[in-house]
Structure 1
Amino acid sequence: MSNYVFAVTVRTSFDDTVQAVTAALQQEGFGVLSRIDVAATLEAKLGIAQRPYLILGACNPHYANQALRADADIGALLPCNVVVREEADGRVRVAFMDPAAVLGLVQHSEVDKLGHEVREKLQRVAKVLSV
C-alpha cells in the first residue's frame, strides 16, 4: 500500500463496481464531478488496448467549500480521485486518493483536519465495497 492511496479489491464486475462506488460515495455526501475513461482515451489517442480503467473525480461540496475558504489555491488538489480498474486476473480494484496525505501538503491546520474527516468518509465507502 502506498502512502497516498488506500484500496480494496472487490468481487463484482467492473460496471457493477462503478455503480456501487458512485452510490456509496453519494451516501457519504459526494458527487462525481468527472469521469475519465483512461482505457478509452489510450485506445483513441495511442491505439493501446488496456483493461478497463476509470478515474472518478469525487467531491463533497461542504468540505470543498471549507478547503477553498482556508486556501484558495487548494483547488489544484481537488477533487478526490477514485480509481476503478480491472486487474490482470479479472478482479476489480478500487483505489482512493488519501485526502489526509494529499491535503497535508498544504501544511494548514484547518485543511489538515478536513483531510482527515474526508479520509474517514472515503474509508467508509471502501468498507461498504469490501463487504
Structure 2
Amino acid sequence: MTASAAEQGDKLKLTLVYDSPYGFEETLESLRNTIHAHNFRVFPDRYLEEGLVDEFSVNTRQISVRFCNFSDLHQALQIDPQVGVVLPCTITVIENADGKVQLLTGNVQAMLTLFDNPDLTAAFHDLEQKYQAIIDEVTL
C-alpha cells in the first residue's frame, strides 16, 4: 500500500502499512525528525518485542516510535475520556527479511468506529491529517 491509498476498504483495517523507499536507519531518522517538525514530542523508542523475549533475542529492526502532542491529547480527552485507550501515538518501523522497510500505524478511521461522537470525529480528523502528513513526508 502506498501513502496515497486512502481507499474505502482501508477504513476498517485496524493497522495501515506503508512502504518506505529508504533503508531502515534513514526511515527511522526521517520519522523522528518529521514527528518533531509536526510539533509532537518523541519518547524513547521501543523494540517491538521488548519485554517479550530476552534482550539478546530482540529484533532490532522492528522499532516503535512513540510520540504525543499534549494539546491534541488534552482536547481528545476533554471530549471523551475513554479515547485514551485507543490513541494511536505510535508508528512502528520494520525491516522485513527481504530488506523491505515498512511503517505501520493505527488507523484513525477504524478507531473512530468505537465512538459515536461528532466532536471526537472532528478532533480525530485533524489528528488523522497530521499522521498522514508525517507518513507522506517520510515515504516520499
Matched, 1:44 2:54: yes
What amino acid sits opposite 1:92 in the alignment? V
Q: When you count helix as a share of all residues, which structure comes out higher?
A: 1
TM-score by length of 2: 0.78
Matched, 1:109 2:118: yes
Residues 103 and 115, structure 1, Cα contact 8 Å, conserved in 2: yes
Deviation at 1:40, TM superposition (A): 4.9
Q: Which structure 1 residue ranges, 5 or more long, are not aligned? A: none
Give yes or no for the alignment of 1:13 onto 2:23.
Answer: yes
User: Quick one: distance in 1 between partners of 2:62 and 2:86?
Assistant: 21
Are positions 1:27 and 2:37 aligned together?
A: yes
CA contact (8 A) 1:99 1:115 kept: yes
* 1:83 shift after superposition: 1.0
Cα distance, 1:109 vs. partner?
1.2
Q: CA deviation at 1:49?
A: 5.6
The match for 2:94 is: 85
Alignment of 1:60 with 2:33, yes or no, is no
Q: Is the contact made by 2:47 and 2:58 (CA closer than 8 Å) also made in structure 1?
A: no
Q: Distance in 2 between matches of 1:79 and 1:32?
A: 13
| Partner SS state of residue 39, structure 2 | coil
- 2:103 is the counterpart of 1:94: yes
1:37-57: CA deviations, max 9, x gaps?
A: 124544416x75646111222
Matched residue, 1:127: 136
Unpaired runs of 5+ residues, structure 2, are: 2-9
Task: Give how far 1:12 is off.
Answer: 2.3
Q: Bigger shift: 91-100 or 26-35?
A: 26-35
Aligned residues: 130
Amino-acid identity (%): 22
Is the CA contact 2:67–2:90 (under 8 Å) kept in the aligned structure 1? yes
